[in-house]
Copies of this chain bind each other. A is one copy, B any other.
Amino acid sequence: MQETTTISNLSCPLPISDYKQILLGHGSGGTLSHNLIQSLIRPVFNNSFLDMLHDGAVFDINGARLAFTTDSYVVRPIFFPNSDIGELAVNGTINDLAMCGAKPLFLSAGLIIEEGFEILSLERILQSMQKAALEAGVQIVTGDTKVVEKGKGDGIYINVSGIGSVEPDVEIAPKRCREGDVIILNGRIAEHGIAIMSAREGFEFESEIVSDTAPLNSLVETILNISKHVHVLRDPTRGGIASALNEIAEDCNLGILIDENKILISESVKGACEILGFDPLYVANEGKLLVILPEHVSEPVLTAMRNHPLGKESQIIGQVTSENAGKVIMKTSIGTHRIVDMLSGEQLPRIC
């Protein structure tokens, strides 16, 4: 697509997106989000920290090695089966820190509340946040509250930023992937996205589908206690495991081959995906992680993961390959191979 030359083109050093306005898909975690970050946000905030990792930044301050991350939560509805936006926000940011190989320590809570929001709902959400923080062994130490007029928000939006400490010999980065590395996933996919969708639309399935939201820091600690040779940790949230694996493949410029038969999904979630027309590979998870590590340490790590309450169903789902650089290929259950693209557009808006 050829751009016409205008003053604005000439004065701007950045590639202007083909889109002139923000679409819902820019928040999906898929291709549009990825392009927005790569073509606009990263070039502006140009620094080496942004290039290293997906889920947070790692740096040293006065000899302490730290991870720092931020996430805003706009999930709708704010209360959903077995959980709510408060627990999701705390667990989500804990997980972003854990995916940097960090031990999460301190969180912030930034609330943007719509005028007219029920105080009792606010209290329930704050209690959920505190409960989740206590369970994961972190503290919410600073906060901020803003109120916007009715019609300028949607109940409540929550930002949770977090700080954790990283051991000196841990180095998690997609660029560290090597041919032959093994990919482990800790359980069944697509539960969070389908739980939210069901709650939002009032669908009822035979067995209730609940969000898998969970703090993954203890599981990550277990993994890193077995081996510091882990190359990548990634929680496949927005955009599902398909988008997460595509980002990793692109960042390390290697191929990823996954085996459909090894990717677990409950019958009820599978059925719901079929009814709703969703590919579960693209549906958000909030208690799952992908671990990429050298084959020689994969067996003890897998065993340790299976002994952890959040990793009982861990499976090796695939490996890193030199062929198909930058792409994700899936061996399907019927033995064929297909390319698994990044999510394009928007599948489930406001899933987290």
Contact = CB atoms under 8 A, between A and B. Distances in A.
A325 interface: no
Given A22-B118, A37-B143, A66-B163, 9 more contacts: A21-B118, A22-B114, A22-B122, A24-B147, A45-B129, A56-B142, A68-B108, A146-B157, A148-B157
A22 B161 contact: no
Could you tell me the dominant secondary structure of chain A's interface residues? mixed
Interface in A134-175: 139-149, 151-154, 157, 159, 161, 163, 165
A139 B170 CA distance: 23
Contacts of A336: none
A41 B126 CA distance: 7
A159 to B, nearest CB: 4
Contact of A61 (B70, B114, B118, B163): B163
A115 interface: yes
A26 interface: yes
B157 A119 contact: no
A328 to B, nearest CB: 23
A113 B110 CA distance: 16
Interface string A44-75: 11110110000011010111111011111110
A5 interface: no
A26 B350 contact: no
B147 A20 contact: no
A1 to B, nearest CB: 15
A16 interface: yes
Given A47-B141, A120-B20, A146-B27, A61 B165 contact: yes
B110 A159 contact: yes
A14 interface: yes
A42 B150 CA distance: 25
Contacts of A161: 70, 108, 110, 159, 161
Contacts of A73: 146
28 contacts: A12-B123, A19-B119, A20-B120, A21-B116, A24-B147, A24-B149, A37-B143, A41-B126, A44-B129, A45-B141, A46-B130, A47-B139, A47-B140, A49-B139, A50-B142, A57-B141, A61-B163, A64-B64, A68-B108, A68-B163, A69-B142, A70-B108, A70-B144, A72-B144, A73-B146, A146-B157, A157-B157, A159-B161
A141 B59 contact: yes
Nearest to A127: B44
A105 B22 contact: no
Contact of A63 (B63, B116, B149): B63
B20 A146 contact: no
A149 B349 contact: yes
A345 to B, nearest CB: 12
A17 interface: yes
A20 B110 contact: no
A58 B116 CA distance: 33
Contact of A117 (B22, B64, B129): B22
